[in-house]
């Protein structure tokens, strides 16, 4: 199944048979004091720099989130989407749970973005999905609802099924739905990674959709997070995740290694190019 | 399913619910000029040093192979097993395809070793399995036969089934059979890793046995092999490999990360201990 995202001159094709598509997570003020302060002051320099740096590091798609306390999210998200689009020509992942903010951003975006996100709550389904349909976008479906994030793969899968059914009923094709099986840190619950992995396997088997994942959550509060994130990414990519949301500079080499051993990098060309780049950086 | 290996005072318990058991691969002269020359001269110093170093690096079991050109393999393997047993008290994996060499080593080993290996060839099945039964050992079953290493998961699985059936018929319980799904380098065949991964999934599902894998073969001829090996190990461990044969010092951190995200390291205690050890080594 192929999900195609489009920017003015480029596209990103997400599919299990292709190299993993990396969604850059860094244009998001959550937990980032400097970016939060800049956005509150209307300063877009960090946003531009992060767009540039992430694409240079290998991001195929950029997530854009405007969740700043006290800001007019609709106006800010719209401006950020315009700024990022003007800086780098890659498809965007427009990140908000506010229908108003999403509508404002979708109205100005030139291309086919990924809307991040809808979830299993009735209010989310009934307000976000019509927007996705109206603007011909693709959408991330989070496997959570009114009751929070379920602690079993069965329950997460059933929410994914509900989202797909509701979207298809509105005429959104399955290939435009990207399921996020969600992960919590194994630092708090040793079974957190297993539940995610099992959900990914089940969604692949039962729904066959593309899948994203904010894989970095798995290591929250633990040391050497890049190692844990890379190892967990390898497992979830092997199980069916096709477009994780990540800190691209930190995990791209691990993802390229995963693509290579999964037969998605003929002649190891992407892997070897990345290796040479790392060698140059070390000697520079 | 639990496979229990025993040395004079220790045991290694291999099971999917437990931390991954690491079999140290380095006491093997194949491709090692220095070790080959030492063994030809009857010098056991490198063997002792490798036993010590690998256990210090975290090996739970040590593979011992005496494949030296021109040597009397039975006499050499017997001596090496005695030397390694006298040096480090961990269970051994006695590595030869010669029934005579295996018999000589099994006769002197005090404990329950892993015999490495039997394969699907009639000659191997009929000569190795009776020895395994006679000495009450566990055995590695390679998914290859007269025709070589099959290029599909289906065919490798059918060889694994054949080995398990023949062993069970002789009274060797399934928990004493450890299947090796084999891997070739993705440098020569981009689908090599995928076939292995698919075979591991099928063996887990259909036979439920423990599994080993010389995972390092996947990266032969490619740069940054430790990265590739760690990533591939993460995938195969998530799929069912429970006791890989590896260069322990190079991949243990990746395996501990895999165990942690798979819920096999409560309170992240093994992972954090390893992380602190690496920090000390960096500052030392």
Write the pLDDT tens digit of every residue in A93-125. 999 999 999 999 999 999 999 999 999 999 999
Write the pLDDT tens digit of every residue in B44-86. 999 999 999 999 999 999 999 999 998 999 999 999 999 999 9
Chain B residues in contact with A271 (beta carbon < 8 A): 222, 228
Q: What is the DSSP string of B257-271?
A: HHHHHTT-SGGGHHH
Would the CB atoms of A231 and B232 count as touching at under 8 Å? no
Q: What is the DSSP string of B84-146?
A: HHHH--S-EEEE-S-HHHHHHHHHH--SB-EEEEEESSHHHHHHHHHHHHHHT-EEEEES-BT
Residue B282 confidence (pLDDT): 81
Spatial separation of the C-alpha atoms in residues A178 and A115, rounded to whole Å: 10
Chain B residues in contact with A252 (beta carbon < 8 A): none
Q: How far is CA B233 from the centre of its chain?
A: 13
- Which residues 8-27 of chain A have a CB within 8 Å of chain B? none
Considering only CB atoms, A231 lies closest to which of B257, B272, B275, namely: B257
When pLDDT is cut at 50, 70 and 90, the band that residue B171 belongs to is very high
Q: What is the mean pLDDT of residues A162-170?
A: 98
Spatial separation of the C-alpha atoms in residues B255 and B233, rounded to whole Å: 7
Residue B283 confidence (pLDDT): 77
Residue A281 confidence (pLDDT): 85
DSSP 3-state of A27: strand
CATH at A200: 3.20.20.20
- Compare all CA atoms of chain B with the CA of A262 and give the residue at the minimum distance: B194
Chain A residues in contact with B230 (beta carbon < 8 A): 230-231, 257
As a whole number, the mean pLDDT across chain A is 97
Residue B281 confidence (pLDDT): 85
Considering only CB atoms, A263 lies closest to which of B190, B239, B263, namely: B190
Would the CB atoms of A194 and B262 count as touching at under 8 Å? yes
Question: In this structure, what DSSP letter does residue A19 have?
Answer: P
- Compare all CA atoms of chain A with the CA of B194 and give the residue at the minimum distance: A262
Instruction: Evaluate whether A205 touches A166 at the Cβ level (below 8 Å).
Output: no
Starting from the edge strand earliest in sequence, which strands make up the sheet with B114-119, in order?
B210-212, B177-180, B138-142, B114-119, B92-95, B61-65, B23-27, B245-246
- Compare all CA atoms of chain A with the CA of B225 and give the residue at the minimum distance: A257
Would the CB atoms of A263 and B193 count as touching at under 8 Å? yes
Question: In this structure, what DSSP letter does residue B68 have?
Answer: -
Phi, psi of A267, deg, nearest 5: 60, 15
Q: Is B216 on the interface with A (CB under 8 A)?
A: no
Residue A135 confidence (pLDDT): 98
Q: Find, among B24, B25, B1, B31, the residue nearest to B13 by Cα.
A: B1
Q: What is the mean pLDDT of residues B4-10?
A: 96
Residue A283 confidence (pLDDT): 77
- Report the alpha-carbon angle A159-A145-A23, nearest 5: 75
Q: Is A282 on the interface with B (CB under 8 A)?
A: no
Q: Is B61 on the interface with A (CB under 8 A)?
A: no
Q: Is the dihedral of CA A114, A120, A125, A127 positive or negative?
A: negative
Is B284 a residue whose pLDDT tops 90? no
Residue B214 confidence (pLDDT): 96
Question: In this structure, what DSSP letter does residue B39 have?
Answer: H
Phi, psi of A256, deg, nearest 5: -65, -35
Determine the distance in angstroms separating the CA of A120 from the nearest CA of chain B, rounded to an integer.
Answer: 26
Cβ–Cβ pairs < 8 A, chains A and B: 114
| B4: β partners | B13
Domain with A30, as residue range(s), is 3-283
Task: Choose, out of A261, A269, A273, the residue to mutate when testing the contact with B (most B CBs < 10 Å).
Answer: A261
When pLDDT is cut at 50, 70 and 90, the band that residue A211 belongs to is very high
Q: Is B149 on the interface with A (CB under 8 A)?
A: no
Q: Is B265 on the interface with A (CB under 8 A)?
A: yes
Spatial separation of the C-alpha atoms in residues A101 and A56, rounded to whole Å: 28
When pLDDT is cut at 50, 70 and 90, the band that residue A282 belongs to is confident
As a whole number, the mean pLDDT across chain B is 97
- Which residues 174-213 of chain B have a CB within 8 Å of chain A? 186-187, 190-194, 197
| B148: β partners | B145
Distances, alpha carbon B80 to alpha carbons A3, B31, B46, B48, B75, in Å: 57, 18, 11, 9, 9
How many domains does the structure of chain A reveal? 1
Residues 6+ apart with CB under 8 A from B45: B38
């Amino acid at each position: 199944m192929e999900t195609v995202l489009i920017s003015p001159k480029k596209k990103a094709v997400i599919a299990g048979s292709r190299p993993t598509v990396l969604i850059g997570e860094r244009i998001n003020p959550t937990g980032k004091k400097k970016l939060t302060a800049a956005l509150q002051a209307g300063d877009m320099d960090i946003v531009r720099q992060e767009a540039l740096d992430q694409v240079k590091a290998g991001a195929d798609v950029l997530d854009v989130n405007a969740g700043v306390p006290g800001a007019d999210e609709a106006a800010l998200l719209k401006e950020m989407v315009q700024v990022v689009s003007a800086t780098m020509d890659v498809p965007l992942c427009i990140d908000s749970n506010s229908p108003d903010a999403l509508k404002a951003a979708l109205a100005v975006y030139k291309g086919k973005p990924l809307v991040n996100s809808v979830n299993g709550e009735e209010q989310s389904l009934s307000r976000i999905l019509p927007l996705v349909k109206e603007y011909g976008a693709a959408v991330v479906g989070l496997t959570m609802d009114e009751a929070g994030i379920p602690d079993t793969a069965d329950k997460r899968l059933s929410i994914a099924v509900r989202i797909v059914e509701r979207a298809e009923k509105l005429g959104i094709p399955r290939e435009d739905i990207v399921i996020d099986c969600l992960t919590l840190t194994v630092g708090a619950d040793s079974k957190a990674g297993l539940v995610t992995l099992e959900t990914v396997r089940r969604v692949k088997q039962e729904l066959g959709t593309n899948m994203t994942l904010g894989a970095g959550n798995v290591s929250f509060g633990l040391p050497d997070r890049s190692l844990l994130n890379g190892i967990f990414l390898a497992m979830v990519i092997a199980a069916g995740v096709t477009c994780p949301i990540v800190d691209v500079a930190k995990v791209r080499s691990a993802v390229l290694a995963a693509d290579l051993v999964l037969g998605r990098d003929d002649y190891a060309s992407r892997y070897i190019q990345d290796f040479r780049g790392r060698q140059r950086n070390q000697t520079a």
